[in-house]
Structure 1
Amino acid sequence: MLQFGEPKSGLTYVERPAAFGIAGRDGKVALVEVVRDGGRHWDLPGGAIDPGEDEAKALVREFGEETGLKVSLGRRVVNVAQRFLKDPKTPVNNRGGVYEVIVDGEDAALKIEDDHTLVWLDPGEALTCLRHEAHAVALLFWMRARAA
């Protein structure tokens, strides 16, 4: 597993199982633009694995909640971990797989996270926008595999 994010002195990072996905369409990739607490960032869709879920179930659920897209899992691109502050008081280390996903359709009823907006970006632009190094590296691995 590739680990990203330098630990900040004095913080204890909670291990947080998570899964993220890369969906491609018409030469672009899906990201979520997150606007929260006066800030804005871009992530791959996905997130934490809830109790009783595996990576596949969590990713399908999270993708729907954040984007309104129905997806199924393709191949695993890479396993990554990313240390970051989920909020000013919550240091976490997201750990898990990043998968290629297939968009099976749309269902607006799935989208419940109002601070997340689905955006489709050119993969090169997405690389420069992504908040987490782990997401950018996963996207780079995905791009290289598709070019081979």
Structure 2
Amino acid sequence: MREKLRVAAYAICVREGQILLARWINDGVPEWTLPGGGMEHGEDPHDTLLREVYEETGYRVEVTGLLGVRSVRFPSRRRFGRTVDQHHVGLVYEARVTDGELRFEVGGSTDMAEWHDLDAVPALHQVPLVDFGLRLWRERPVAGRPGG
């Protein structure tokens, strides 16, 4: 079985009781996710975060902390019926907006970005990364992964 590793960096941006999310289109189905994305070869994860947040939201951010790491492994079917052992490693940073204006990404993996009330997040159609990131943000685990 083929193996594929993807390393990415994501931002938790919370202000005035709202979180910044980007809408990702997964096989034609929109799902809310944390702004961020995959590292380019040779790129530092911190720089990945700054680039991806700007691309997806129009905001410049300052990293205020590393909250933790999400490591997920799953098989997926690819072209010609081949199965790929996917391993996604996501670094979740806390960040604050320092400049820019909210705008939507054109021609990328997301089609819009929006601030959402923290209380409304559970009702959104979202990827599991959002809940994971919010749990890191709330619990601030020393080991970088939520307990239990």
When normalised by structure 2's length, the TM-score is 0.74
- Where do 1:56-135 residues align within 5 Å? 56-83=46-73, 89=79, 92-106=86-100, 111-112=105-106, 113=108, 115-129=110-124, 130-132=126-128, 134-135=129-130
Corresponding position of 1:23: 13
Please say if residues 64 and 110 of structure 1, whose CA atoms lie closer than 8 Å, have aligned partners that are also in contact: no
SS of 1:74 mapped into structure 2: strand
Please say if residues 37 and 49 of structure 2, whose CA atoms lie closer than 8 Å, have aligned partners that are also in contact: yes
Corresponding position of 2:28: 38
C-alpha RMSD of matched pairs (Å): 2.9
Please say if residues 33 and 116 of structure 1, whose CA atoms lie closer than 8 Å, have aligned partners that are also in contact: yes
Q: Which moved more, 1:93-102 or 1:75-84?
A: 75-84
Whole-Å separation in 1 of the counterparts to 2:53 and 2:76: 18
| Structure 2: unaligned runs, 5 residues or longer | 141-148
1:52 CA drift (Å): 1.8
Whole-Å separation in 2 of the counterparts to 1:100 and 1:131: 18
SS of 2:91 mapped into structure 1: strand
Corresponding position of 1:4: none
Identical aligned residues as a percent: 27
| Structure 1: unaligned runs, 5 residues or longer | 1-10
1:97 CA drift (Å): 1.2
Which of structures 1 and 2 has the bigger CA Rg? 2
Corresponding position of 2:133: 138
1:19 CA drift (Å): 0.7
